[in-house]
Amino acid sequence: MKNISLKENKNFKKLHPILSDIELNCLENSLLKNGFDRTHPILTWHGYIVDGHNRYALCKKHNIPFITFNIETENISTDKDVMDFIVDKHIHERRLTINQINELKEIRKELD
């Protein structure tokens, strides 16, 4: 586990639903109580956070070591590829409503 500095890309960050204060507080309490969950690394691409912005900020705030996983592959080689990856990940892994999915897709279109 490490505690490196990562960069943020505003377009990548825009594609993530904002956590409520309660959700953020629960995440912070979990990190403080249990430490960083190694089974859910912060996803990165060229040093930019792709997924895990909130976990990263809380780990930095409390000096909690974390791990990263670089998603760069032949199929993910541009900013556009990363944004498509983020949208796909949210649609397939989160419990989003139809309205949230449509909003996410609309934001993605605006970023082109």
pLDDT tens for each residue of the chain, 112 residues long: 666 899 999 999 998 888 899 999 999 999 999 999 999 999 999 999 999 999 999 999 999 999 999 998 888 999 999 998 998 887 777 667 778 778 878 887 887 7
Rg (CA), the chain: 14
CA separation for the pair 51, 78 (Å, rounded): 16
